[in-house]
Amino acid sequence: MSTIIQLGIVLGIMVLVHEFGHFAVAKLCGIRVETFSIGFGKRLFGFRKGDTDYRVSILPLGGYVKMSGDNPGEAPNDPGDFNAHPRWQRILVALAGPFANFILAIGLMTGVSMLHNEVQEYISSPAWTDYIPASTAAARTGIHSGDLIVHYDTVENPTWDQVAIRSLLNINQTVSFSFVHDGQRTDTKLFVEAKEGPDSFSLDRLGLIPKMQNVPVQVDALEPNMPAQRAGLQPGDQIATIDGLQLHSVPALLSYLQDQAGKPAALTVLRKGQSLPIQITPELAEVGDGTKDYRLGFHPVQPPVKIERLPFSKAVVASWEYNKKGSLLIVEVLKRMFTRQVSVRSLSGPIGIGQQIHQAASMPGWMPLIGLMAYISLNLGIFNLLPIPILDGGMIVFLLVESVLRRDLNQQLKERVYQVAFVCILVFAAMVIFNDISKLDLFTKVKP
C-alpha cells in the first residue's frame, strides 16, 4: 500500500507539472482553457474563475487540461479555440508540457545541491578495484584485485558511476575493457553478463567490486551468536587483512568469503593502535532476502560520503550537468532500443517505477528519492517529445508539416494515423506492464 501511495504522489506531481506547462502557455496565448483538473474522473470539488473550471477529481493520479476546440480537425467556433490560433502558438503550447518537466528536474536537483547533497565518495572516483571474485566475467579477463580500470566501453579513465551506467547500457553484450596491472595496460573485452536482465544486474555479480575507501573495514556493531562475536572482535576494530589480503569494503569481504566456501580465515585486526591476529570461521547465515551466504556477523562503519551545500549559482550548474547526463543517457537508451542493442524488457512500467520509488524512499537522505524524481521527470518530458501522434511531439510534427505546406493535412488521414498510434501506445503499455508483472517475486520464484 505504501508503494502505491508513493507512486501516486510522485507520478501525480510529474503529470500535474506537465499539464500546468500546457495550461500556463495556453493562457498566455489567449486560448480558452475549459478545465484544469488535479486528478481524473468524477469532479469532487473546485471553483470556476473566468472560463476555467479548477477542480479536484476522484482519481489523484496526475491531472489534465481541456482546452476549447483542441480536438484534431475540430473547426474553431470562436477566437478562443485552440485550433483558431496560429500554428506557432499551438507548437508553444505543445512544447510547454515537456519543458515544464525539464524545469522541474532542474529545480529538484538545484534544491538538493543547495540543501544537502550526500554522495558516496568512491562513485565519482577513478575505478580502482577492491576484489575480483573467482569464476566471474571480470576474472576471466585477467584483471586482479587492486587494478585500475582505464577504459570501459566508450569511456577513457572512467569513474565507478560511468562503469555502472555503461554496464546497464550493454547488458548481455561485449564491451571494450582495459585495465592496468603492475604498471602494464591490458586491452581486452568484457561480456556484461546478466542472464535475468538489468533488474538482477550488479557490478558485484559481474566481478567488479569497487574500492570504496582507502582505510580497512571497521566494525560498528556485532551480531549475537555469530563468528565475529565468538572470535573476540569488538566495535571499533579494523580488519587490516584477511588471509594476508587487504580489502576495503564489506562487498569485497563477503565475496572473498564466498570464494573460500567457509574455510577458516586469519584476520589481522587493528585495535587501539595494536595489531592482533584472530582466527575466525565464517558461518552460512541469512542475508535478509531469503538466501544464505558465508558471513562473519558484524555491522560495518559506512564508507565516507561527500556532503555538498552549494550556493544557488553553482547548484544550478551542478543540476544542469546532472540532468544533461541523465537526458543523454535516456536518448542513448532510446537509440539502442531501435537498433536492438537494448531490449524492451529492460523498461519499467508503473509497477517497476513504484518499486524503484519505494526503494529510493527507504534509503537515507533526500538524494535517492529526489534524484529518481528528476530522472522520471526527464523521462516524461523526453517521451512526450517523441514524434508519435497523440503525444506532444506528434502534434508538433503535424503542425510543422502544415506550416511548411501552408495548409492543413487531410483530416481523414490524420484521424487514421492517430487511431493507429493510439493502438500502438496501448500495446506498448500492455507489454511494459506485463514485463513488470513477470519480474515480480511471485513469478520469479516458480522458475526452475
CA 85 to CA 76: how far, in whole Å? 9
Average pLDDT over residues 310-339: 84
CA angle, 411 then 414 then 420, to 5°: 140
Q: Is 245 within a domain?
A: yes
Domain count of the fold of the chain = 3
Question: Which of 22-31, 202-211, 289-298 has the weakest average pLDDT?
Answer: 289-298
Answer whether 178's CB lies under 8 Å from 185's CB.
yes
153-178: burial string, b at 16+ Cβ within 10 Å, e else: bebeebbbbbbbbbbbbbbebebebb
CA 31 to CA 25: how far, in whole Å? 9
Written as nine digits, the cell of 185 is: 595496460
- pLDDT band of 258, cuts 50, 70, 90: very high
Same domain, 167 and 202: yes
pLDDT at 224 over 50: yes
Q: Is 351 within a domain?
A: no
Residue 447 neighbours by CB under 8 Å, 6+ apart: none
**What's residue 279's pLDDT?**
94
Q: Is 247 within a domain?
A: yes
Average pLDDT over residues 382-388: 90
Same domain, 100 and 145: no
Question: Which of 59-68, 194-203, 281-290 has the weakest average pLDDT?
Answer: 194-203
Average pLDDT over residues 81-101: 92
SS3 percent helix, strand, coil of the chain, rounded to 5, is 45, 25, 30
Average pLDDT over residues 104-125: 84
Same domain, 19 and 41: yes
Same domain, 82 and 157: no
**What's residue 120's pLDDT?**
78
**What's residue 10's pLDDT?**
82
Give the best-scoring range by mean pLDDT among 55-69, 150-164, 356-370.
150-164
pLDDT at 76 over 60: yes
CA 137 to CA 174: how far, in whole Å? 11
CA 231 to CA 247: how far, in whole Å? 19
Same domain, 192 and 138: yes
| Domain end (from 281, 300, 319) | 300
- pLDDT band of 265, cuts 50, 70, 90: very high
Q: Is 134 within a domain?
A: yes
Average pLDDT over residues 12-35: 90
**What's residue 346's pLDDT?**
65
Residue 422 neighbours by CB under 8 Å, 6+ apart: 390
Average pLDDT over residues 377-382: 91
Say how many CA atoms lie within 13 Å of 354 toward its Cβ.
Answer: 18
Same domain, 257 and 156: no
Q: What percent of the chain has pLDDT over 70?
A: 89
What CATH number is given to the structural domain containing 265?
A: 2.30.42.10
How many CB atoms sit inside 10 A of residue 424's CB? 13
Domain that holds residue 49: 2-115+369-409
- pLDDT band of 447, cuts 50, 70, 90: very low
Answer whether 152's CB lies under 8 Å from 403's CB.
no
Same domain, 93 and 180: no
Same domain, 221 and 257: yes
| Domain end (from 186, 210, 234) | 210
**What's residue 364's pLDDT?**
66
pLDDT digits (tens, 9 = 90+) for 422-445: 888 788 777 777 766 666 554 333
Same domain, 107 and 142: no
Q: Is 143 exposed, middle or buried (0-12, 13-18, 19+ CB in 10 A)?
A: buried
Average pLDDT over residues 266-286: 91
Q: Is 201 within a domain?
A: yes
* Residue 435 or 235, more confident: 235
| Domain end (from 161, 187, 210) | 210
Same domain, 129 and 202: yes
Q: Is 423 within a domain?
A: no
**What's residue 440's pLDDT?**
58
pLDDT at 306 over 60: yes
Q: Is 172 within a domain?
A: yes
Pair type for strands 238-242 and 217-222: antiparallel
- pLDDT band of 97, cuts 50, 70, 90: very high
Mean pLDDT of the chain: 85
**What's residue 385's pLDDT?**
92
pLDDT at 276 over 90: yes
Q: Is 346 within a domain?
A: no
Between helix 87-115 and helix 392-405 the angle, nearest 10°, is 140
Average pLDDT over residues 115-133: 85
| pTM (two decimals) | 0.69
How many CB atoms sit inside 10 A of residue 296's CB? 27
First to last CA, the chain: 30
pLDDT at 305 over 80: no
